Amino acid sequence: MARLVISECCGLTPLRLRGRGAGPAIALPAAPPSLAAGPRRPVTAIHREWALRVSAPTRLTSVVEEEGNRKVEEEARSPMAADNGGAFDPGAPPPFGLAEIRAAIPKHCWVKDPWRSMSYVVRDVVVVLALAAAAARADSWLVWPLYWAAQGTMFWALFVLGHDCGHGSFSSNAKLNSVVGHILHSSILVPYHGWRISHRTHHQHHGHVENDESWHPLPKRLYNSLDNMTKKLRFTMPFPMLAFPLYLFARSPGKKGSHFNPSSDLFQPNEKKDVLTSTASWLAMVGILAGLTFVMGPLKMLKLYAVPYMIFVMWLDFVTYLHHHGHEDKLPWYRGKEWSYLRGGLTTLDRDYGWINNIHHDIGTHVIHHLFPQIPHYHLVEATEAAKPVLGKYYKEPEKSAPIPFHLLEVLAKSLKSDHYVSDTGDGRVSMSDVWHGQAFTQFTSTIFVVE
């Protein structure tokens, strides 16, 4: 039996030893005054006022204390930081900080318009209902495959809007974010708060080889110790693209419980009520689906809901994987003091999905989202264009897509075949010999781990 656990959003990862204290806690500040839309009320007040317990997040999602990182970044910077013998070194400390990137982004890009955000919700819900009604009425095997592809993509679009609610980029109203997030995520069997809290960890530790929760690479020694079945499940299509449901019920190494269990190691004690609320919402959706199955029959529900749900799962795993893997140059990963929030964020990738960009709310515009997750999705493209002059070569321009992004299937297959592990050792700065895009080099003095 292969020794497997499920990693964040959402890869299959072999079991590794890791204690709860694997990474330091990061203090999360209040929103900067320039971004705040109004006074913040204590969470306890929200709970007292709202008997339905559709509670607001207890703290801002994926916001890192920039002041704490700024000192580290300034110490690491130098005018020649990215000059590695005349060649650009994407793993070197960048000669800019978060403040410079933030200053380059127009102020209106930070503004959250709840009416505009709700218009996208209405649009997507109407399309989902219309597709289901049309497919049920036609009930033809000529129509069903087209319906599955379209509806699965729309389920993914609903997930992205719920994801924005979790980040607080949907609106400045925490209660509205929570209500809409619960409705959208529960409708596609995602526990809103459970996943939101887990996803927050990914944003706080992106690019950290040990603490990142999203498709992180394996140490070389552990990779070499895997049995063939584990390697196939982790790196062979289509298994990695079907991992998300398992991930929700199982958890990464060193943490016990699932996204539905309020006592899981994933959650703080003050988050238990939030998790219970989301689990109850998820169970309510399961009950609705069971009732519809009884009324309409299992075959009809399989065609109307179950198959599109699996397409949605594949979209989720496909997109999240490609945001962190598959560039033609090997992406850096960090350990120890070499990691910073900025350097980790610069390891993420933008992707072009052609016509799908608008459908799934520009989630492919991912670098600026990782650095500043409070920016609404409808401003990400403009914010990225404004930030490019500051980012320079640290920004990896995505390959332009045809209307349907079939080219990314080749990227995915190539990455799963070759991007497997990183160096076993190193904390702080180390010397290592490795392969970087086909070129051998030695004495690379940084805790940067190239996925091979």
Average pLDDT over residues 264-270: 86
Mean pLDDT comparison of 38-42, 178-182, 196-200, 428-432, highest-scoring range: 178-182
Looking at residue 451, its pLDDT comes to: 43
Residue count (the chain): 452
Looking at residue 85, its pLDDT comes to: 53
The percent of residues in the chain predicted with pLDDT above 90, rounded, is 51
**Residue 316's pLDDT band (cuts 50, 70, 90):** very high
Confirm if 349 and 327 have CB atoms less than 8 A apart. Answer: yes
Write out the E strands in 282-348. none
Average pLDDT over residues 406-416: 92
Average pLDDT over residues 265-269: 85
Average pLDDT over residues 185-214: 88
> 412 CB contacts (<8 Å, ≥6 apart)?
237, 318, 321, 322, 326
- Least confident range of 181-185, 200-204, 317-321: 200-204
The percent of residues in the chain predicted with pLDDT above 70, rounded, is 73
Whole-number average pLDDT of the chain = 79
**Residue 62's pLDDT band (cuts 50, 70, 90):** very low
Average pLDDT over residues 28-52: 40
Average pLDDT over residues 365-374: 95
Looking at residue 221, its pLDDT comes to: 85
Tens-digit pLDDT profile for residues 171-182: 999 999 999 999
Tens-digit pLDDT profile for residues 88-135: 788 888 999 999 999 999 999 999 999 999 999 999 999 999 999 999
Looking at residue 206, its pLDDT comes to: 86
Which position has the higher pLDDT, 385 or 446? 385
The full DSSP string for 369-434 is HHH-TTS-GGGHHHHHHHHHHHHGGGS-PPPPPPSS-THHHHHHHHHHHH--EE-S--SSS----E
Task: At 168, give phi and psi (nearest 5°).
Answer: 80, 10
